[in-house]
């Protein structure tokens, strides 16, 4: 095959032929379908294999993203997360590879986050170009159903309304009672597609690292121990997974499903399926307000422990025997919750009594003492600062530590990190907020120029830290160990040392870096 830069690369798959492009020396295939479009009767159905295509399919332009809420002008932190065009026909993936050959390179399979409601694998900030070029690895990013299309749980009502109907009216197909988590069926289908096809793109199906951030890290954890994913992934990277979320069982979830149906103006799933997707997204906005609680991260849509596609909390899967030999890297940012609360004028006026009451909702121990313990770690702390530290701990840092502790206790491999470099923007109020590690990991600040979060970071500090983190991620994808010449010795997290890499202007390994949070939350009420 002639794969010279002046010739468009073409690959032959069972599904059909694909024509990609060479961009800055990296071969790229965009909007590659991995599942049948989930439209019409396939809305709120598990992902189905794509039937293929005839001729040569052009794969040089990004496809549409999953429908989601969108506001012109973005937001003051990320500047937006997902942009038009949107369409339900969105189950595609992008591939970056150093060359279309028989190289059998390690594969990085990236799952974007977005609070289960936004994002796209084709966003420039998630470009795999630098990873492919710098690490000689193949990178895949995926689109999957988010918001109501991916996370709405309809339970037995869906099966009663649609049992026996497939892609064509009258087609008989099995329907698992009470199944949900269509997002997970998408990701499993994409992972299966990559495992079956990546050799055609110079990748090694036996060396796949699944990585994700935020909601994408929850997805990564869910895949790690899933029986259908067994043997298809070797390593996982969990960046800021909100493992402290309460993942509801069906009965609890159906309460918000009923509210969503009301907001959408639909009596049942048949009526809901007839609505255009913009109406579904509008109703999702109403569900935000309905499910919001003071002092908690808003999550109108969540995974569901349906007992069919997901049997337990995703954080538990990495402790199961199925995930025993999977290499794990896990980490968080120092001030995760500042992302959602530091710029909110309403929370700036929070009182001590309000925050103490919020602490009392989740702690069995004296809430005033817990407040004081948090306040001592921040001289001059306002009530909102204590609240943000509390949310960071209970949603991100402490559950990550607990997972690392459990894996270390059983002798299973895990590396831990904390990202500490603060963002100067907005007078420093965001600090080391949720998402801030992403441009350092991808080492692609040129693609983040529109994002307020990264503005003002000193270039010398920025570039040095980005190189260190980027190369650590590459080393982990390639070998299962994040150590490289440019990073201090990074030991596995152990029950005694609790070694944690601290990423800041100076990178250091610290024993029990988050010990204060770990011990303080021993008094937290467990679900």
DSSP secondary structure code for residue 397 in this structure: I
Q: Compute the distance between CA of residue 251 and CA of residue 256 in angstroms, rounded to an integer.
A: 10
Please choose, from the candidates 15, 493, 492, 510, the residue with its C-alpha nearest in 3D space to the C-alpha of residue 501. Answer: 510
251 contacts: CB under 8 Å, gap ≥ 6? none
Over the range 424-440, which residues count as b (16 or more CB within 10 Å of their CB) and which as e?
ebbeebbbbbbbbbbbb
Sign, CA torsion 149/154/159/160:
negative
Please choose, from the candidates 437, 434, 448, 432, the residue with its C-alpha nearest in 3D space to the C-alpha of residue 127. Answer: 448
> Active-site residue 426, yes or no?
no
> Active-site residue 226, yes or no?
no
CA dihedral 82→85→90→93, nearest 10 degrees, is: -60
The two tokens of residue 294 are 């003071």
Would you tell me the crossing angle of helices 352-360 and 367-376 to the nearest 10 degrees? Answer: 120
Beta bridge partners of 141: 94, 110
The secondary structure element, H or E, covering residue 222 is helix 215-224
Q: Compute the distance between CA of residue 207 and CA of residue 353 in angstroms, rounded to an integer.
A: 52
Beta bridge partners of 212: 111, 238
Considering 112, 195, 426, 434, which one is annotated as catalytic?
A: 434
Task: Find out whether 303 and 310 touch, Cβ atoms under 8 Å.
Answer: yes
**SS3 of residue 30 by DSSP:** strand
Whether residue 85 is preceded by a cis peptide bond, meaning omega within 30 degrees of 0, is yes
User: Which is it for strands 17-19 and 92-97: parallel, antiparallel or unpaired?
Assistant: unpaired
Please choose, from the candidates 341, 330, 308, the residue with its C-alpha nearest in 3D space to the C-alpha of residue 243. Answer: 330
Residue with tokens 């995703």: 314
Please choose, from the candidates 403, 469, 36, the residue with its C-alpha nearest in 3D space to the C-alpha of residue 225. Answer: 403
Q: Compute the distance between CA of residue 182 and CA of residue 241 in angstroms, rounded to an integer.
A: 19
DSSP string, 334-396: TTTTHHHHTT-HHHHT--HHHHHHHHHTTBSS-HHHHHHHHHHTSTT--HHHHHHHHHHIIII
**SS3 of residue 94 by DSSP:** strand
**SS3 of residue 196 by DSSP:** helix
Neighbours of 244 (CB within 10 A): 22
DSSP secondary structure code for residue 65 in this structure: B
Considering 88, 130, 335, 336, which one is annotated as catalytic?
A: 336
**SS3 of residue 466 by DSSP:** helix
> Active-site residue 434, yes or no?
yes
Name the burial class of residue 279, with classes exposed (0-12), middle (13-18) and buried (19+) by CB atoms within 10 angstroms of its CB: middle
As annotated, the active-site residues are 214, 336, 434
């Amino acid at each position: 095959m002639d794969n010279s830069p002046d010739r468009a690369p073409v690959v032959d798959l069972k599904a059909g032929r694909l024509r990609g492009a060479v961009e800055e020396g990296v071969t790229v295939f965009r909007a590659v379908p991995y599942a049948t479009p989930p439209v019409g009767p396939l809305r709120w159905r598990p992902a189905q294999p794509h039937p293929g295509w005839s001729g040569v399919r052009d794969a040089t332009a990004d496809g549409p993203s999953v429908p989601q809420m969108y506001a012109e002008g973005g937001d003051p932190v990320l500047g937006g997360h997902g942009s038009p065009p949107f369409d339900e026909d969105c189950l595609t993936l992008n591939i970056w590879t150093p060359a279309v050959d028989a190289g059998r390179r390690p594969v990085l399979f990236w799952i974007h986050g977005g609070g289960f409601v936004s994002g796209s694998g084709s966003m420039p900030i998630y470009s795999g170009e630098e990873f492919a070029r710098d690490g000689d690895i193949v990178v895949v990013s995926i689109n999957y159903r988010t918001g109501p299309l991916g996370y709405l749980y309809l339970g037995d009502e869906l099966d009663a309304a649609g049992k026996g109907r497939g892609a064509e009216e009258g087609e008989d197909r099995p329907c698992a009672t009470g199944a949900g988590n269509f997002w997970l069926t998408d990701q499993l289908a994409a992972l299966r597609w990559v495992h079956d096809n990546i050799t055609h793109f110079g990748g090694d199906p036996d060396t796949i690292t699944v990585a994700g951030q935020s909601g994408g890290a929850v997805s990564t954890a869910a895949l790690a121990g899933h029986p259908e994913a067994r043997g298809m992934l070797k390593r996982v990277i969990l960046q800021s997974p909100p493992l402290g979320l309460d993942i509801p069982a069906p009965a609890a979830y159906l309460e918000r499903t009923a509210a969503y149906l009301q907001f959408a103006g639909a009596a049942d799933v048949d009526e809901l399926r007839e609505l255009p997707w913009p109406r579904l997204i509008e109703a999702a906005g109403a569900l935000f307000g309905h499910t919001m609680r003071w002092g908690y991260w808003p999550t109108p849509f969540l995974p569901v422990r349906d007992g069919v596609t997901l049997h337990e909390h995703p954080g538990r899967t990495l402790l199961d025997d199925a995930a025993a030999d999977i290499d794990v890297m896990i980490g968080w940012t120092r001030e995760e919750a500042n992302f959602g609360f530091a710029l909110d004028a309403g929370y700036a006026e929070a009182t001590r009594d309000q925050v103490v009451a919020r602490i009392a909702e989740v702690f069995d121990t004296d809430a005033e003492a817990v407040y004081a313990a948090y306040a001592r770690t921040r001289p001059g702390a306002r009530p909102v600062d204590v609240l943000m530290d509390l949310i960071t701990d209970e949603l991100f840092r402490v559950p990550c530590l607990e997972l690392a502790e459990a894996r270390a206790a059983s002798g299973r491999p895990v590396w831990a990190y904390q990202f500490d470099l603060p963002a100067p923007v907005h007078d420093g109020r965001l600090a080391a907020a949720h998402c801030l590690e992403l441009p350092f990991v991808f080492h692609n600040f040129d693609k983040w120029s529109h994002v307020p979060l990264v503005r003002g970071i000193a270039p010398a500090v920025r570039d040095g830290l980005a190189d260190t983190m980027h190369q650590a991620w590459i080393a982990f994808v390639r070998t299962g160990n994040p150590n490289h010449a440019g990073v201090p010795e990074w030991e596995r997290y152990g029950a005694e040392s609790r070694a944690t890499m601290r990423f800041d202007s100076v990178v250091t390994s610290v024993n029990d870096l988050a010990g204060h949070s770990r011990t303080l939350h021993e008094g937290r009420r467990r679900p």
